[in-house]
Each structure stands twice: as C-alpha cells, then as structure tokens.
Amino acid sequence: MNQTKKILVYSGCIAFTVLGVWLLTAEAPTAMYPLWKTRLAGILSIIFFGGGGLFMACKMVKLRINHKKEIEFTDRGISICGAREIPWNEIAGFALIRFKGNRLITIQMKDPEKVIENEPSWIKRKTMEYNLKTINAIYSFPACMMDGRAEEALALCRLNLAEHQCHNR
C-alpha cells in the first residue's frame, strides 16, 4: 500500500479501537441501546479493529526486521508479504484486473489445481479455491503494494517472469 493509504488504515484502526474502549467503559445506557449491547459493540470494535491493526503492524515490523519488501522478486520466485515463495517455473503469467473496486495483479499458475491439492493448510486451500472461482487465479495482490502505476507494476512482474524463464531454459 502507498503511505497515504497505510496512514488512513492505521488511523481508522486506532479511531475505532478508541471508540470501542469508550463504548466498553460507558457507565450509563444510551437512550437507544441497553448497556450490554453498547459493551458488546465496544468489545467487537476492539477485537476487530485493534486486532486487525495490530496484525498489520506486526506483519510490517516482521518484514522490516527481515529486510524484506511487501512484494519481493528472488531468483527462485515471487514472495508476497514475506510468505512462501511462488516458484517462477510454476507461474504462467500475470494479469491486471479490477475486483470490487480494487486493481489486483493476479498470478496465473500453470497447474492451479495441483497447487491447491498440495497446500497443507485447509484454510489456505479453501481461500485458493474461492480465488480461483472468483478471480480466475489462486494468488493475487493489490497493485498499490508496488511503487508506480498499476500498469508499471504489472510490467515489472512480467519482466521478472520473462527473465527467470530465460535463465531456466
């Protein structure tokens, strides 16, 4: 994500977490909602927004500690947010799509069903199956995770793939 979006997301997480604390510590019920509903809304706000913000911050800190980027091209493959590398020899190509208002770069795999089948985590398998049905790719990332315009990010992905396909021949 670019810096402006990151700041907005973190600010929203902080604001909703503070709102959750305020709702949780409210002494009197509001005219519209009983005290238990107000407290429940506070707890859910803290868990969802506080937890989500903390999770995102921890991922970013982990990337920084390990000197990694959100999208990293290596000799072996592409890594998204420090996750396991997707090998170049399994990638068929990249595409730029618009999905629910976001511009995504999708990673087309040569044999997506085999990749899904070999995934040990059932949660990841279900996510991959859903992605394959909805966006026709098991892996994707927001184009804004890379510097520059979406088309430039796509061109960089394709260039890296072409370079690594040439080296493997």
Instruction: Report residues of the chain scoring pLDDT below 70.
Output: 1-3, 29-31, 63-64, 66-69, 167-169
In this prediction, residue 50 carries a pLDDT of 86
- Global pTM exceeds 0.95: no
Residues contacting residue 146 through CB under 8 Å, at least 6 positions apart: 70, 71, 105, 152, 153, 156
